[in-house]
């Protein structure tokens, strides 16, 4: 507790003093994100280019779908990253990332108030508090200025994180009107925020450029030798598993095809490309949609778990596809 008190008192400077001698921040995602890579980061890291594994350095890192940022935070804790460019088309996710990056102290204070107010209520009243915050969050969107990051963003970032941690199953979903519509969750003791992790995440993000844009905009930041990790909204593994609602527009098969063209274009630029997606063969053994899109590249299947499903019995072990445009590494590199 003493360490956290010091962090609050001295902000980023205090964090640097407390972490003196610590080379890399050890941050984890501060939001739960469908399709997040926390469980797969080691498998992905094993598949990094040999040069990166040997030197422990990434000169340029580009992530066109940052989501919860699990892989970025994992890499930042183990590799020296020269320049990092993090993209997402979800405007409010970008708000949360920029608030963590620039206003971590104010964010911690606001989240502390939300957590205190929420947890002090009897269980039946928490639901009312949740929907009150959700209504404010949705109403605020109509007049919110997304163009200029400032302290006025702190409350919206705090609302977003609070809703993410108290909604049903940690899901983030928007309807076609761009309204967050996930119902209240059932967790009796949700951990709404981790103060130390927010400061760690802020450290990890300090030198990153965070951009709200479609993934194709990231091509202007991709150079020869850059590492590009692509983690798009996953193609549904069944006809009923159709969740791609991170934005009001969704992510269709046509978008998946557009992404495959982008992958080939960045390959021609000389970038190292690593992509993950759901394996359609989990549902249909004859579905070769992704194999056809990424024909000619290295395609592997790795075990994973799905935690976000309204039916608990449908969560569990599945396979995911990992695609890369460079060869299989030898034992010379270690993650």
18 in Cβ contact with 3 (< 8 Å): yes
Q: What share of the chain is helix, strand, coil (3-state, %, to 5)?
A: 45, 15, 40
Quick check: is 283 in a domain? Answer: yes
SS (H, E, C) 144-193: CCCCCCCCCHHHHHHHHHHHHHHEHHHCCCECCCCCECCCECCCCCCCCC
pLDDT band (50, 70, 90) for residue 24: confident
pLDDT single digits (tens) 110-149: 999 999 999 999 989 999 999 999 999 999 999 999 999 9
DSSP, collapsed to helix, strand or coil, labels residue 218 as helix
48 in Cβ contact with 335 (< 8 Å): yes
CA–CA separation, 34 vs 233, rounded Å? 8
* 220 and 198 within one domain: no
188 in Cβ contact with 134 (< 8 Å): no
288 in Cβ contact with 246 (< 8 Å): no
* 128 and 195 within one domain: yes
Number of domains in the chain: 2
* 250 and 192 within one domain: no
CA–CA separation, 48 vs 43, rounded Å? 9
pTM: 0.86
Quick check: is 182 in a domain? Answer: yes
For the record, the structure tokens of 201 come out as 């995440």
What range defines the domain where residue 134 resides?
A: 91-202
Among 30-39, 94-103, 113-122, 266-275, the minimum mean pLDDT is found in 30-39
Quick check: is 106 in a domain? Answer: yes
* 125 and 165 within one domain: yes
pLDDT single digits (tens) 277-314: 988 877 788 888 999 999 999 999 998 765 444 444 44
Q: Which of the listed residues 169, 202, 235 is the one where a domain comes to its end?
A: 202
* 285 and 188 within one domain: no
* 109 and 57 within one domain: no
Quick check: is 18 in a domain? Answer: no
Q: Which of the listed residues 158, 181, 202 is the one where a domain comes to its end?
A: 202
Q: Which of the listed residues 202, 224, 251 is the one where a domain comes to its end?
A: 202
Q: Kindly report the backbone phi and psi dihedral angles of residue 149, in degrees, each rounded to the nearest multiple of 5, phi listed first.
A: -70, 130
Quick check: is 8 in a domain? Answer: no
Side by side, the strands of the sheet bearing 298-306 are: 208-212, 80-88, 57-63, 227-230, 272-278, 316-324, 298-306
* CATH number of the domain where residue 131 is located: 1.10.1020.10
């Amino acid at each position: 507790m003493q360490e956290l008190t010091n962090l609050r008192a001295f902000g980023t400077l205090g964090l640097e003093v407390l972490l003196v001698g610590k080379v890399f921040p050890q941050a984890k995602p501060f939001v739960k994100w469908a399709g997040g890579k926390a469980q797969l980061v080691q498998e992905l890291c094993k598949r990094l280019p040999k040069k990166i594994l040997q030197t422990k350095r990434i000169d340029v890192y580009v992530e066109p779908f940052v989501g919860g940022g699990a892989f970025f935070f994992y890499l930042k804790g183990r590799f020296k990253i020269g320049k990092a460019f993090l993209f997402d088309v979800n405007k409010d996710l970008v708000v949360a990332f920029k608030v963590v990056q620039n206003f971590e102290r104010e964010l911690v204070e606001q989240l502390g108030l939300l957590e205190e107010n929420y947890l002090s209520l009897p269980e039946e009243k928490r639901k009312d508090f949740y929907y009150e915050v959700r209504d404010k969050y949705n109403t605020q969107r109509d007049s919110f200025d997304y163009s200029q990051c400032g302290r006025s963003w702190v409350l919206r970032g705090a609302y977003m994180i609070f809703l993410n941690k108290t909604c049903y199953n940690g899901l983030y979903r928007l309807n076609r009107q761009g309204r967050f519509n996930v119902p209240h969750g059932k967790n009796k003791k949700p951990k709404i925020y981790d103060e130390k992790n927010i400061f760690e995440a802020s450290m990890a993000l300090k030198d990153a450029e965070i951009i709200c844009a479609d993934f194709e905009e990231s091509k202007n930041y991709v150079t020869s030798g850059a590492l590009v990790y692509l983690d798009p909204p996953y193609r549904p593994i069944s006809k009923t598993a159709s969740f791609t609602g991170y934005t009001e527009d969704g992510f269709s098969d046509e978008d998946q095809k557009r992404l495959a063209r982008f992958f080939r274009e960045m390959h021609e630029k000389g970038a190292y490309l690593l992509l993950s997606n759901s394996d359609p063969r989990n549902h249909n053994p004859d579905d070769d949609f992704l194999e056809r899109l990424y024909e000619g590249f290295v395609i592997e299947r790795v075990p994973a778990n799905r935690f976000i499903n309204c039916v608990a019995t449908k969560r569990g072990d599945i396979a995911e596809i990992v695609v890369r445009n460079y060869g299989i590494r030898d034992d010379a590199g270690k993650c």
